Structures are given as structure tokens and as C-alpha cells.
């Protein structure tokens, strides 16, 4: 995989997630592009490259505006999303040999799975952190369970967004430099 | 050789272990992460800026004045601004009356509510979407300090600057975010014959999960949907006093307390739907050096 292409795409997708994607919001549910990119990479890149790429994507999201603690102190932590994405990537890696990647729904379904798996880790870490004495208000004041429900809906929205975005990403496969068999990604 | 290093699993394991430790370190050991976040946000800012423009173009937020002639827009903004000043003066007078014997009276007169407006663009939100803090493209280099307030259309309070202010960017917390806590506010009754300045009706606003505020009041109060609720919180900067927190959306009797009413107050403008806001920066004082002291004093 060409890391330059990936870094540009990562910055672009994260920037769009934090600015543009709320145009598709239904209530508080906003689809996200970053899990789509992570899933796309996880389907095609070598195993260790996938892990690095997902760690980097999660880290970029960790560095987005954080929860706010007591006295309006920002609670910026590097780790929860990076670990969440790492966990989700490791969940997808064994599955990618079993899926039919030419099907346009594959990326959508796996994006849902990826986003749900990542959110499990994120919610777990923040739930543990919320027991710290100087903990911020996490999940906008919701409980961990309702946050998991919200994350599942968000994952579904991201999965829906993955159909058109995935179509576009597959068109760009030649510039990514994946060393995989062309037929595995195929043409939609 | 280098390729083999990239494909080795050992560095990944070490990185994951490091991130695991970072995830559970106490906050005081992670002071440097905010600086890295500010640096990382810079290359994304132009794209996010463009993304915001497109988003606002495709789906503009709820704005009662959308489509109104510019003249009406200016008049409403001016009306709200004057109403804010009037409310602030009434609240200040009320406070001064209760502190008449206090020696701080002269100082209160001196403080006034002067401020320097700084225009700021929202350049990033949290990955969770429409909640939590947002990043704005002004920081300490523009004079922004922790605790400064953000406004829209002159008199509508939308947020407050968080503690960590970078040189070029800073974080803005929506006024209805649960982390801001409860807000002391007031309803300003209209003048009546024989009483040109009725006493303000004090409310304690509690942020709700849906972005609105809940408050209880006495059943005898004359409140109606559409009434403006203004800020009167000593923990907030003086320049924010009298600013509009929101409007009453619902008034319902409380079943468990028949003599009380439950009010639902909804901000007119939601920070996450806005593209540009104005930060009210407290002017720098020379000599007394009390800058942040007001904010810390109010917060304690």
C-alpha cells in the first residue's frame, strides 16, 4: 500500500467526518467515512499494514475535539479509538478471506461490523475512565448501554454510506498500490 | 530490509501496549496530547472549512430569520442586542440593590461589560457528530482566553471556550453541553403600568440529553412558550450577562409538585449547526493583571 495515498485519504476522510458528514445526520446519528476507509484498507492491504493503518486512523479520531471535564477542561486522550480500530481490524482480517469482495454490499456489511466492534472498545475504555475522579461527561450524559445503541445505529448509517463511497474507493484501487490479486476487488 | 521491519508484528504490539497505557493514564499525565491534537487539526482545517461550507449550503441550520430581508435581519439583531443590554442592566441593578452596603459596589460599576468581538469559524467537531466540543480557528494569538463566551447574532449565547487554548485554535463547549453544568438564568417580565422594571424571575437551567434545558418555576409566574431566558450566572464572564440562552418551548405542570411548573428551554441556535460565531474576548487590563482571575474566581 502506498502510505502517501493513505495519509492523504485519511486526512480527507477524517476532515469530512468532523465537518461535512453531519449534513446526513438523522437526529443525532451521523454516518462516518473513516470506518469505511479502514474497512476498505482492511480488505485489501497486507495484514500488518492494515493494523498500522487502523491504528493511525483511530489516533486521528482520538485527536479530534474531545469530551469536556470539570471546569471546562478538555479531556484529550490518545488511545480509545486507536485501540478500537485496531480491535475491529483484527476482527475483519480473518473474515476477509471468506467474503466475496466484488459484491457492493460486502464493504457496507463489513463497515457496520467494523464500526460496531470499534465502538465496543471505545465505550469500554471511556466507561472505565468515567470512574476516575476527574472524569469528563462521557457520551453526552448518556449511559454506556444507550451509547452502544447509538453507536450501532451510527454503524448502520456508515454502512449505508459505504455503498456509494465504497464504489468510489474501488475505482481508485490502482493508485493505492495494493499488492493483491486484481480479481479479488474486481469491478462493480 | 525496511519492508521487513514494516511487516514485523513486534512494533505493532509495542504501539498497542503504549496506547493501552495512554488510554488509562490520569489526565494530568496527558497534558501534551492536546498540543498534538492542535497541530494535527491544522492540516485538516482547510478541508474541514470547505466541508462546513458545503454542509451549510446543503443543509443550513434552523434559523428563524432565513429568507428574511437583510434589513429585517439587522433590525432583529439590533433588537436582540439592545434587549440583552437592557436585561444585563436590569440584572446588574438588581444585584447592586442587594449589595448596596457592600464595598464592592464601586468595583462592580467599574467592571461594566465591555468586550472585544473576534470572529471565529468552526473547523472541527468530535467524531460522535452533533454533540460535545467543537474546534474553532482562533486561539491565544487572537486574544482568546479560557472561559470567553461565544455568541451568534449578537445576543444569543452558544458556548464557552474550554481551558486548553492553543495558539491558533481552541475548543468551544456548547452552552447546553452537560459538562458546562447548570446555568443560573432569569426570565425578564415585561414592564407593567406602575412598574417599569419588574424584578427578574430566577431559574436554574439543567442541560437535558436532547440539547434543551429543564427548569422548574413557581406556578404563579406568568410564563409562556416563546419567552426568552437570559443568562445571569456569576460563574460566567460579566460580558455574557443578559445574553439569550434560549426560548421557552414547553410549559407543563408538575404532577408530583402541583405548585410548580416544569419549563423546557431550547436554544434558538445550536452551536453544531453554525459556521461562524463571535467570541467575546474580555479586553486586556493593564496594571491590575486580573485577566483569568475573574474566570477562576467565578468557577470556584
pLDDT in tens, B221-236: 888 888 888 888 888 8
Average pLDDT over residues B196-208: 82
Q: In chain A, which residues have their Cβ closer than 8 Å to the Cβ of B59?
A: 23
Average pLDDT over residues A123-152: 84
The alpha-carbon gap from A76 to the nearest alpha carbon of chain B, in Å, equals 6
- A59, A65, A83 member nearest B135 (Cβ): A65
What pLDDT is stored for residue A180 in this prediction? 57
Q: Do A52 and B160 touch (CB under 8 A)?
A: no
pTM of structure: 0.70
- A18, A28, A51 member nearest B124 (Cβ): A18
Q: Do B127 and A15 touch (CB under 8 A)?
A: no
Q: Do A49 and B16 touch (CB under 8 A)?
A: no
Q: Do B15 and A55 touch (CB under 8 A)?
A: yes
The alpha-carbon gap from A55 to the nearest alpha carbon of chain B, in Å, equals 8
Q: Do B209 and A141 touch (CB under 8 A)?
A: yes
Q: Do A72 and B178 touch (CB under 8 A)?
A: no
Q: In chain A, which residues have their Cβ closer than 8 Å to the Cβ of B40?
A: 60, 63
Question: Between B103 and B212, whose confidence is greater?
Answer: B212
Average pLDDT over residues B167-195: 83
What pLDDT is stored for residue A68 in this prediction? 73
Q: Do A66 and B23 touch (CB under 8 A)?
A: no
**Listed range (A29-38, A151-160, B29-38) with the worst mean pLDDT:** B29-38
Q: Which of A72, A73, A93, A115 to mutate to test the interface with B (most CBs of B within 10 A)?
A: A72
The alpha-carbon gap from B194 to the nearest alpha carbon of chain A, in Å, equals 43
Q: Which of A64, A115, A134 to mutate to test the interface with B (most CBs of B within 10 A)?
A: A64
Percent of chain B with pLDDT over 70: 84
Q: Which of B19, B135, B274 to mutate to test the interface with A (most CBs of A within 10 A)?
A: B19
ipTM value greater than 0.95: no
**10 Å Cβ neighbour count for B11?**
14
Whole-angstrom Cα distance, residue A100 to residue A106?
7
Question: Over chain A, what HEC string results?
Answer: CCHHHHHHHHHHHHHHHCCCHHHHCECCECCCCHHHHHHHHHHHCCHHHHHHHHHHHHHHHHCCCCCECHHHCECCCCCHHHHHHHHHHHHHHHHCCCCCCCCHHHHHHHHHHHHHHHHHHHHHHHHHHCCCCCCCCHHHHCCHHHHHHHHHHHHHHHHHHHHHHHHHHHHCHHHHCCCCCHHHHCCC
pLDDT in tens, A48-107: 899 999 999 999 998 887 777 666 777 788 889 999 999 999 999 988 888 877 677 888
- In chain A, which residue's Cα lies nearest the Cα of B21? A79
Whole-angstrom Cα distance, residue A38 to residue A42?
6
- B20, B163, B177 member nearest A73 (Cβ): B163
What pLDDT is stored for residue B114 in this prediction? 67
Average pLDDT score, chain A: 85
User: Which phi and psi (to 5°) does residue A171 adopt?
Assistant: -65, -25
**Listed range (B60-64, B106-110, B138-142, B273-277) with the worst mean pLDDT:** B106-110
The alpha-carbon gap from A22 to the nearest alpha carbon of chain B, in Å, equals 6
Average pLDDT over residues B91-105: 62
What pLDDT is stored for residue B101 in this prediction? 52
DSSP E strands in chain B: the ranges are 116-125, 134-136, 149-152, 156-165, 170-174, 183-187, 201-207, 213-218, 228-231, 244-253, 260-266, 276-281
Q: Do B24 and A129 touch (CB under 8 A)?
A: yes
User: Which phi and psi (to 5°) does residue B169 adopt?
Assistant: -135, 165
Q: Is the pLDDT of residue A121 over 90?
A: yes
Q: Do B19 and A65 touch (CB under 8 A)?
A: no
CA-based radius of gyration for chain B: 22
What pLDDT is stored for residue B288 in this prediction? 45
User: Which phi and psi (to 5°) does residue B280 adopt?
Assistant: -90, 100
| Chains A–B, number of C-beta pairs less than 8 Å apart | 194
Whole-number Cα distances in Å, A134 to A121, A138, B149: 21, 12, 24
Average pLDDT over residues B80-109: 67
Q: In chain A, which residues have their Cβ closer than 8 Å to the Cβ of B180?
A: 68, 72
Average pLDDT over residues B88-110: 60
Average pLDDT over residues B8-23: 90
pLDDT in tens, B17-75: 999 998 888 877 888 888 888 888 888 888 888 888 888 888 777 777 777 777 887 88
Which among A48-52, A128-132, A175-179, B179-183 has the top mean pLDDT? A48-52
- In chain B, which residue's Cα lies nearest the Cα of A23? B55
What pLDDT is stored for residue B33 in this prediction? 84
Amino acid at each position: 500500500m502506498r502510505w502517501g495515498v493513505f495519509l492523504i485519504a485519511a486526512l480527507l476522510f477524517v476532515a469530512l467526518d468532523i465537518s461535512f458528514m453531519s449534513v446526513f445526520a438523522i437526529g443525532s446519528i451521523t454516518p462516518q467515512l473513516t470506518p469505511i476507509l479502514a474497512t476498505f484498507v482492511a480488505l485489501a492491504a497486507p495484514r500488518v499494514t492494515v493494523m498500522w493503518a487502523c491504528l493511525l486512523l483511530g489516533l486521528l479520531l482520538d485527536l479530534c475535539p474531545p469530551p469536556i471535564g470539570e471546569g471546562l477542561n478538555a479531556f484529550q486522550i490518545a488511545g480509545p479509538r486507536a485501540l478500537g480500530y485496531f480491535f475491529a481490524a483484527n476482527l475483519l482480517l480473518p473474515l476477509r478471506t471468506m467474503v466475496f469482495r466484488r459484491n457492493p454490499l460486502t464493504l457496507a456489511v463489513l463497515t457496520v461490523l467494523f464500526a460496531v466492534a470499534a465502538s465496543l472498545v471505545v465505550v469500554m475504555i471511556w466507561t472505565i475512565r468515567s470512574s476516575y475522579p476527574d472524569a469528563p461527561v462521557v457520551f453526552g450524559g448518556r449511559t454506556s448501554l444507550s451509547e452502544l445503541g447509538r453507536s450501532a445505529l451510527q454503524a448502520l448509517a456508515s454502512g449505508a454510506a459505504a455503498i456509494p463511497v465504497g464504489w468510489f474507493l474501488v475505482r481508485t484501487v490502482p493508485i493505492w498500490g495494493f499488492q493483491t490479486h486484481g480479481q479479488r476487488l474486481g469491478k462493480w | 530490509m525496511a519492508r521487513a521491519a514494516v511487516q514485523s508484528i513486534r512494533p505493532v504490539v509495542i504501539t498497542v501496549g503504549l496506547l493501552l497505557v495512554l488510554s488509562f493514564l490520569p489526565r494530568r499525565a496527558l497534558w501534551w496530547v492536546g498540543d498534538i491534537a492542535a497541530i494535527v487539526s491544522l492540516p485538516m482545517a482547510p478541508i474541514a472549512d470547505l466541508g462546513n461550507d458545503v454542509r451549510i449550503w446543503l443543509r443550513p441550520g434552523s434559523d428563524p430569520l432565513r429568507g428574511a430581508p437583510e434589513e429585517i435581519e439587522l433590525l432583529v439583531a439590533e433588537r436582540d442586542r439592545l434587549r440583552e443590554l437592557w436585561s444585563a442592566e436590569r440584572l446588574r441593578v438588581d444585584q447592586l440593590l442587594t449589595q448596596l452596603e457592600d464595598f464592592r459596589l464601586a468595583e462592580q460599576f467599574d467592571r461594566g461589560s465591555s468586550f472585544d468581538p473576534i470572529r471565529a469559524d468552526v473547523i472541527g467537531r468530535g467524531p460522535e457528530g452533533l454533540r460535545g466540543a467543537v474546534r474553532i480557528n482562533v486561539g491565544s494569538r487572537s486574544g482568546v482566553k479560557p472561559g470567553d463566551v461565544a455568541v451568534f447574532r449578537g445576543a444569543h449565547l452558544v458556548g464557552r471556550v474550554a481551558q486548553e487554548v492553543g495558539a491558533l485554535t481552541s475548543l468551544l463547549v456548547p452552552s447546553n453541553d452537560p459538562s458546562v453544568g447548570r446555568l443560573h438564568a432569569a426570565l425578564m417580565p415585561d414592564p407593567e403600568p406602575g412598574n417599569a422594571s419588574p424584578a427578574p424571575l430566577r431559574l436554574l437551567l439543567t442541560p437535558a440529553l436532547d440539547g434543551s434545558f429543564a427548569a422548574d418555576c413557581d406556578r404563579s409566574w406568568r410564563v409562556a412558550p416563546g419567552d426568552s431566558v437570559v443568562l445571569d450566572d456569576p460563574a460566567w464572564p460579566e460580558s455574557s450577562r443578559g445574553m439569550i440562552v434560549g426560548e421557552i418551548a414547553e410549559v407543563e405542570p408538575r404532577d408530583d409538585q402541583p405548585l410548580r411548573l416544569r419549563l423546557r428551554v431550547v436554544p434558538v441556535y445550536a452551536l453544531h449547526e453554525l459556521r461562524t460565531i463571535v467570541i467575546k474576548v474580555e479586553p486586556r487590563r493593564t496594571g491590575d493583571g486580573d485577566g483569568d482571575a475573574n474566570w477562576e474566581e467565578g468557577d470556584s
